[in-house]
A and B are shown apart, each in its own frame.
Chain A
Amino acid sequence: MDLADLKPGRLTPDDYARNFADAHPPLNRTQALIEAERCYYCYAAPCQTACPTGIDIPAFIQRVAQDNVRGAAEAILTANPLGGMCARVCPTEVLCEQACVRNTNESKPVEIGLLQRFAVEGYFANPGARQLFERAASTGKRVAVVGAGPAGLAAAHGLAWRGHDITLFDAAPKLGGLNEYGLATYKVAGGFAQKEIDWLLSIGGITPRLNCRLGRDITLDGLLADYDAVFLGMGLGGVNALGIAEPELPGLGDAVDFIAELRQSDPAQVVVGRKVVVIGGGMTAVDAAVQSRLLGAEQVTMAYRRGPEALSASRVEQEWAQTNGVTIRCWARPVAIEAAGVRFAATRLEGGKLVDTGEQFFIEADMVLRAIGQVYEPEGSAIELQGGRILTDEQFRTSVPRVWAGGDCRYGGRDLTVEAVEHGKRAAESIHAALTEVAHG
């Protein structure tokens, strides 16, 4: 890779504008009204059951149909304060839309995600809209929320709404966590992550503290001394290694860094190779692979060591990658990163175990991105872990008194944005109960 063809600016300004615009344009009012009419308003709706945050989907869609955008947004944001981001990034094809009863006869569910986006963004776009949430009278209680991603934001919102004072810490220079740094640009076009955060903070009582990392700039003991409760929602700070020699090559990097750089830059300034290999089979791999193509890479391969059925990227994500010219290569285990590309061992399943077939092949690459999962990086306290992540009970309480945790750093779950929001929301309920119990005690 010392002769790597790594450079920015492969495309024209128009190409960049087109490639990084909204991948799935929003519905206009007419489209939304027509789509809303398709909802059957089911009893104990399967879509609502399938939503990790339990949004009353038939109610919000009925309100869209009745031209009541504020009411629709209220139904959504009451259950999920990040309902706008979830509308854009949820894998609805395996959640609400998979459960839609319209699938039975038509194989075409109601476009719940797009309708949700219509409702939330329609509400945000109305500057005169009355606030949906009024903050309760101050309780005088102070809560530290560590990590300003989906879990932390949801927790902060739920606690601020109940009258507590929140300090929202994040190691990064901007709020948002993965919403700001970890999602493909075309999923969150239009600066939506910050718009949503602006709305969320407008409830009041939330003080951000940026560039402040737990374990480096602050400690859990310090927070416990200064605050009545702590919520941990730092996400996963580390990236899994490939487990093979990783030479110092300019084109070798982490998909999460590549995605974050794209989110924080003009795409025309982002370096990309001519031939790119992304190692991994999840959503992060898809986001990195597709965006490599959109930056002008000619050949992009997503290599995954298991079979297609084990890919954690949803079927829709896989098709999106393929539509964008990404080759998905399964049964490929990397064995050596070389200057000219990656050598893979072909694999297969034998008695349920993944084994090498003995064959090897080489894929040329001048840029190689690791996307084989992220890991929790313990912050240095004695908090109990399970499977390398923080263990909590069903109320999101950790082994350390007065400390709750949620989102990807917590053990259990599918690492979905919408699940992180639910964790934050429910942890806020639990924290509130604990704080008010003390007050009454």
Chain B
Amino acid sequence: MADLSTNFLGIKSPNPFWLASAPPTDKEINVRRAFEAGWGGVVWKTLGEDPPVVNVNGPRYATLWSQDRRVIGFNNIELITDRPLQINLEEIRRVKRDFPDRAVVVSLMVPVNELAWRNILAQVADTGADGVELNFGCPHGMSERGMGSAVGQVPEYIQQVTEWCKTHTDMPVIVKLTPNITDVRFPARAAKQGGADAVSLINTVNSVMGVDLDRMTMSPVTDGWGSHGGYCGPAVKPIALNMVAEIARDPETAGLPLSGIGGITTWRDAAEFIAMGCGTVQVCTAAMVYGFKIVQDMCSGLSNFMDEKGYASIEDFRGRAVPTVKNWNQLNLNHVEKAVIHQDSCIQCGRCHVVCEDTSHQAIWAMKDGKRHFEVNEAECVGCNLCVSICPVPGTITMRALQPGETDARTGRVIDGSYANWTTHPNNPMRAGCA
């Protein structure tokens, strides 16, 4: 059986699944329930200076549902912990004492002031916690006070605070990054420059969930007014995965340990983040949607996947997909694929035809011998994958790569198996050797 245990910055956990700093890790009772359910670690909900913040008492969460009311996206306006610092510290100490094999990392957010950071780091270290995560990501409320994403959006601040933390503690320091920036490589580089042991990402994305069309207010609202929240859940996973990949493949940050966060709901999501370089993954929304037991299904799936593929440990496949992430100009323009509709499982809904006809390349016929029948016209198909994407029956439309010697019916070109990208393409006015 595969070994799911991880050693991340020297912090050991029996599996790579940590609960992210969020409402599920706000209190001892929650964290105990999480560890009893099998979570490998937690990042305790962000501690701040006393007096604690206060939260709104109206809606703190709102949801984007799929059509069958599965939670796709989740939005919150909760701030950092609203409980006194000492209570949190005592609880952390007790929980770590009772669960020594689990990772207990403590998320922190105090003003950009060296003394403030030094004080709180000392208190956290005293609990026996395994490490700290610097919350430079919270996009709502705290950012208005110059903390959270207000720090994470300024690489110089990230570097400065990280340096202070590294100066004042021996605990591993993880810097949690905000996605509310233009290029995630800059804050990641700053964290590394500041001496961060790792970065974790992503924090939530700025979001307004909707508009109440009867009241003509944004939603959700507290007594008629609302404020943007932080967006997470399955819908943000592709955004997170891209940012993880960018950091993993950036020569300046390659090799920096990564803790992946963003919409991880299944073992498959977790495996994808690990394949993209992450040493642990952090989960919040899935737990808030299904409860803590979901970790058992994630562990089961990940373990079976690893056994099936012959990976003995997480490290065996960590980062395997990173070298496949390239700039667009490196993609092979000689490679040609065509869609194939498998008639034995086609249910004849015709959606592939109409979307190709209306919005793409008019490459799917709707009729054969006077009968309803959907088939790809290879002379028009550009291999765009739209039909595969919208077909309601899994596996019914697939893409087939043309093999050397085959002719592309659309261009008349014979596939020769060679590689050529945009940098050398005749249409590229900037190509090498072009005057």
B68–A37 contact, CB under 8 A? yes
B67–A43 contact, CB under 8 A? no
Contact for A101 among B67, B348, B354, B366, CB less than 8 A: B348
Contacts of B67 in A (CB 8 A): 37, 65
Contact for B347 among A41, A43, A65, A105, CB less than 8 A: A105
B349–A40 contact, CB under 8 A? yes
Q: A44 contacts the other chain (Cβ, under 8 Å)?
A: yes
Scan residues 34-84 of chain A and give those whose CB is less than 8 A from a CB of chain B. Answer: 34, 37, 40-46, 65
State the CA gap A104–B366 with chains docked (Å).
18
State the CA gap A37–B65 with chains docked (Å).
12
Main secondary structure of the interface of A (DSSP, over half): loop
Bits for B340-357, please: 1 = Cβ < 8 Å to A, else 0.
000001011111011000
Q: B310 contacts the other chain (Cβ, under 8 Å)?
A: no
Question: What residue in chain B is nearest A99 (Cβ atoms)?
Answer: B348
Bits for A93-110, please: 1 = Cβ < 8 Å to B, else 0.
000000001101100000
State the CA gap A37–B68 with chains docked (Å).
7
Contact for A43 among B68, B345, B353, CB less than 8 A: B353
A101–B68 contact, CB under 8 A? no
Which of A45, A101, A105 has its CB near the most chain B CB atoms (within 10 A)? Answer: A101
Q: How far is the CB of A322 from chain B (nearest CB, A)?
A: 31
Q: B392 contacts the other chain (Cβ, under 8 Å)?
A: yes
A40–B392 contact, CB under 8 A? yes
Contacts of B349 in A (CB 8 A): 40, 42-43, 101
Number of B interface residues at 8 Å Cβ cutoff, please give it. 14
Q: B372 contacts the other chain (Cβ, under 8 Å)?
A: yes
Q: How far is the CB of A68 from chain B (nearest CB, A)?
A: 12
State the CA gap A130–B67 with chains docked (Å).
28
State the CA gap A268–B347 with chains docked (Å).
49
Q: B393 contacts the other chain (Cβ, under 8 Å)?
A: yes
Question: What residue in chain A is nearest B352 (Cβ atoms)?
Answer: A43
B353–A101 contact, CB under 8 A? no
Contacts of A104 in B (CB 8 A): 347-348
B393–A43 contact, CB under 8 A? no
A46–B351 contact, CB under 8 A? no
State the CA gap A104–B350 with chains docked (Å).
14
State the CA gap A101–B393 with chains docked (Å).
11
B347–A44 contact, CB under 8 A? no
Scan residues 85-136 of chain A and give those whose CB is less than 8 A from a CB of chain B. Answer: 101-102, 104-105
Q: How far is the CB of A62 from chain B (nearest CB, A)?
A: 10
A40-B392, A104-B348 as given contacts; A34 in contact with B68, CB under 8 Å: yes
A40-B351, A105-B347 as given contacts; A46 in contact with B372, CB under 8 Å: yes
A41–B351 contact, CB under 8 A? yes
State the CA gap A149–B67 with chains docked (Å).
39
Bits for B350-381, please: 1 = Cβ < 8 Å to A, else 0.
11011000000000001000001000000000
Contacts of A43 in B (CB 8 A): 349-351, 353-354, 366
Listed by A's residue number, 6 A-B pairs whose Cβ atoms lie within 8 Å are A40-B347, A41-B351, A43-B350, A44-B350, A101-B347, A101-B348
Q: Add 15 more A-B contacts to A40-B349, A42-B351, A43-B354 (CB < 8 A).
A: A34-B68, A37-B67, A40-B347, A42-B348, A42-B350, A43-B349, A43-B350, A43-B351, A43-B353, A43-B366, A44-B350, A44-B366, A45-B350, A102-B347, A104-B347
Counting from the closest, the 7 A-B pairs by CB-CB distance are A43-B350, A43-B354, A104-B347, A101-B347, A42-B349, A37-B67, A40-B349
